[in-house]
A and B are shown apart, each in its own frame.
Chain A
Amino acid sequence: SQKIEQNSEALNIQEGKTATLTCNYTNYSPAYLQWYRQDPGRGPVFLLLIRENEKEKRKERLKVTFDTTLKQSLFHITASQPADSATYLCALVRGRNAGNMLTFGGGTRLMVKP
């Protein structure tokens, strides 16, 4: 069966450190992968997209890698701040032949301590 797995345990790190979150998937051939941030009581907000032919994408303090051989994406937040505390979700889009459905992982909660 198709699965998108994120570490369900919360990630606790100290302010200033780099946070690394993992997204693994099985039985998918995604056209691209997205990362979202979700704060309590709010809807997810888009952060970054990386395509299947890209290895790495950066945006300010955020970096995403995409390894289609390992079927894994890593999401990094450098110089983390308490304001980065939130749940981070990865999502896959399988492409036109699969109806372009956007499917999410379970999310990982990040806690950045001052």
Chain B
Amino acid sequence: IAGITQAPTSQILAAGRRMTLRCTQDMRHNAMYWYRQDLGLGLRLIHYSNTAGTTGKGEVPDGYSVSRANTDDFPLTLASAVPSQTSVYFCASSDPLRTEAFFGQGTRLTVV
């Protein structure tokens, strides 16, 4: 693994189903983020974590939850997916001084 890895790359999900998007980094960064990107709305922060064991809400947290059990992993869970959660999801991490954020390749999620 080099950098940030997200899985799956894409997914079609039935409304009402539960889904966890995975994110793993090997850079030992303390801070991690989840964003969604929608046409015309740019990148919007869903949840973040400044260090293992802590999480915080971003701009659009409703319908999503995260956990940070260790430094490397930051999964995003949709408890009951709705069509408005159709989007491209990006996970990112940054070093302690926040001088640069590294992004995964994204997960394209379609809720039908």
Contacts and interface: CB of A to CB of B under 8 A. Distances in A.
A46 B100 CA distance: 6
Q: Contact size class for A?
A: 20 to 34
B31 interface: yes
Contact of A93 (B50, B56, B98, B104): B98
B41 A106 contact: yes
Nearest to B104: A43
A103 B56 contact: no
Which label, helix, strand, loop or mixed, suits the secondary structure of the B interface? strand
Interface in B20-56: 31, 33, 35, 40-45, 48, 50, 56
Contact of A99 (B35, B44, B50): B50
Nearest to A94: B98
B84 interface: no
A100 B50 contact: yes
A49 B98 CA distance: 10
A107 B50 CA distance: 25
B81 interface: no
Contact of A106 (B31, B40, B98): B40
A16 interface: no
Given A99-B48, A99-B56, A104 B43 contact: yes
A8 interface: yes
Interface string B9-21: 0000000000000
Contacts of B104: 43
A93 to B, nearest CB: 5
A10 interface: no
Contacts of B35: 104
Interface of A: 8, 31-32, 34, 36, 41-46, 49, 89, 91, 93, 99-107
Given A34-B101, A46-B102, A100-B31, 8 more contacts: A8-B40, A43-B4, A43-B90, A46-B101, A101-B45, A102-B45, A102-B94, A104-B35
